[in-house]
């Protein structure tokens, strides 16, 4: 199939996990794809894995000025944009008592402020029609301990799916949220836990999921393909939960 043939897609945080798999699926569906990441090695590895046709940009998702630089780079490379998948995120979880202002600001900049200004910077590039996909989280719907700052940022991002759809619909731009539940990604391995502690955490996470397992990046990527494609042209300002039932059962 080629559901995204002729389309240009940007995926932020596209060098691993859900973002990388989404880039793979977008390419398989015929799209030209660009990804962002902070790690030079990660960007090199993504291009090695997905091919030289993949565009890569080093960009910090929480830096407002960097969003305009990214938009300028895309204007030079393509001149137009059909799909934006805001996937980059800071997944820091910690008890309320352990937060400080600097860490709070850094997380909200990555998860909410940066994406807001990226969309603003990209406005002149968006085609008509275009699809914006905002990566939310089921955490915005449940009272998961230690997720306070993370869940608040994701709730704000999901709100943008509604408000920006209302504002941009006359330009043919759809904005929707795509909210994962617990998903098997490299993020868990970056928490610095001992093997036994990480295994215990994975078991705790699986216990949250009604269907008894974590999701896979491919399952999220396939949902992103749907929201990016013309199959979802009547899906506007809403949220697709891909969470194994966590948010509803």
Verify whether residue 150 is a known catalytic residue: yes
Q: How far apart are CA 184 and CA 179, in angstroms?
A: 14
Q: Where are the alpha helices (DSSP H) in the chain?
A: 17-28, 40-50, 64-77, 101-108, 114-122, 148-168, 195-207, 217-228
The catalytically annotated residue of 56, 150, 165, 173 is: 150
Q: Where are the alpha helices (DSSP H) in 60-194?
A: 64-77, 101-108, 114-122, 148-168
Q: How many residues does the chain have?
A: 249
Would you state the structure tokens that stand for residue 129, as one six-digit string?
């029609």
Please compute Rg for the chain using Cα positions.
17
Question: What amino acid positions are annotated as catalytic residues?
Answer: 150
């Amino acid at each position: 199939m080629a559901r995204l043939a002729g389309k240009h897609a940007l995926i932020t945080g596209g060098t691993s996990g859900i973002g990388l798999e989404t880039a793979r699926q977008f390419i398989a569906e015929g799209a030209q794809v660009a990804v962002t990441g902070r790690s030079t090695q990660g960007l090199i590895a993504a291009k090695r894995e997905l091919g030289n046709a993949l565009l890569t940009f080093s960009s910090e998702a929480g830096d407002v000025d960097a969003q305009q630089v990214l938009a300028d780079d895309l204007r030079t490379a393509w001149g137009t944009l059909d799909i934006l998948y805001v996937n980059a995120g800071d997944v820091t979880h910690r008890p309320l008592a352990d937060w400080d202002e600097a860490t709070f600001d850094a997380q909200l900049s990555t998860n909410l402020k940066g994406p807001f200004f990226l969309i603003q910077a990209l406005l002149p590039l968006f085609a008509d029609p275009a699809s914006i996909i905002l990566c939310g989280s089921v955490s915005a719907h449940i009272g998961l301990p230690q997720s306070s700052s993370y869940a608040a940022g994701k709730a704000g991002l999901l709100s943008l799916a509604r408000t920006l759809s209302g504002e941009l619909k006359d330009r043919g731009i759809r904005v929707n949220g795509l909210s994962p539940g617990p998903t098997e990604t490299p993020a868990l391995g970056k928490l610095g836990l001992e093997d036994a502690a990480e295994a215990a955490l994975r078991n705790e996470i699986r216990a949250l999921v009604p269907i008894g397992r974590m999701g896979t990046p491919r399952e999220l990527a396939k949902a992103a393909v749907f929201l990016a494609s013309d199959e979802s042209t009547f899906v506007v300002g809403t949220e697709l939960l891909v969470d194994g039932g966590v948010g509803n059962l």
